Amino acid sequence: MGVPAPGTGPPELGRPAQASSATSAAALPDGAESAPLGDCPEVRAKVERLEGRITPNACAFMKPQIAFGEIPTGTPPAIGDLNHPRVKAYLDIFDEDATLWEAGANSQRGHDMIGTSIARSLQLVPDLRYRGTDVVADGSTMMSGQWNEVTLKGRTVAYPQIARNVLGDDGKTLQARRYYDRYALFRDTVPDLAPKDLFEGIADSAGQRPLTEASSSASTGV
Query: 45-74, pLDDT tens digit by residue?
Result: 899 999 998 899 999 999 999 999 999 999
- Residues of the chain short of pLDDT 50, as ranges, are 5-37, 215-216, 219, 222
Regarding beta strands 155-167 and 141-152, do their DSSP bridges make them parallel or antiparallel, or are they unpaired? antiparallel
pLDDT at residue 180 in the model: 85
Nearest to 120 by CA among 81, 66, 71, 160: 81
Report pTM.
0.70
> How far is the C-alpha of 196 from the C-alpha of 194, rounded, in Å?
7
Q: What are phi and psi of 160, to 5 degrees?
A: -85, 160
Amino acid at 121: S
